[in-house]
Amino acid sequence: MNVRAGTPCPEGGSMHHEITINLKGGMKVDASVRDFTVSTDQPKMDDGNNSAPTPLELFFASLGTCAGTNVAYFCIERDIPYKDIDIKLTVDRDDRSRAVKRISMDIRVPADFPEKYKDALLKAVDLCAVKKAIKAQPDIVATVSNGHKA
């Protein structure tokens, strides 16, 4: 797939994005997104070289960085310093199935962060596009096609 942000969605929605995924050898897999390459790998215990985060780790990181972007926007709009704010994302998984049971985000603000904005800050994080995409439970469809140029 190729990324073209903002192109009309063939299913009639407002936009769709395409990303090209390339298998690089071993367990390394890259994604080309706009002008960027995002690399993934597996830990050595899972036959990888541990040269990059796993796809699941990037998924969690995308959720956390999306929340961080919303926190930054929120603070900028109110002229609140935000460079000392961080977010600790914790993932709880089932021991047997390894399914994700809970994702927690702790937005850690400095002691002088205005108390009156804490609830609003949580609401801003709830508007994160990644979180909304997860909650929407989109259909994920895979197909196999011939004709790829080697």
Of 3-7, 24-28, 30-34, 137-141, the poorest mean pLDDT is in 3-7
Please say if the pLDDT value at position 115 is more than 90.
yes
CB 9 within 8 A of CB 17: no
Residue range 38-85, pLDDT digits in tens: 999 999 999 999 999 999 999 999 999 999 999 999 999 999 999 999
Q: Considering only CA atoms, which of 20, 24, 23 is closest in space to residue 33?
A: 20
**Average pLDDT of the chain, as a whole number:** 89
5: pLDDT strictly greater than 70: no
49 CB-near residues (< 8 Å, 6+ apart): 26, 27, 28, 41
Residue 87, helix vs strand vs coil: strand
Domain 54-135 sits in CATH at 3.30.300.20
The predicted pLDDT at position 102 comes to 96
pTM for the model: 0.83
Residues of the chain with CATH 3.30.300.20: 54-135
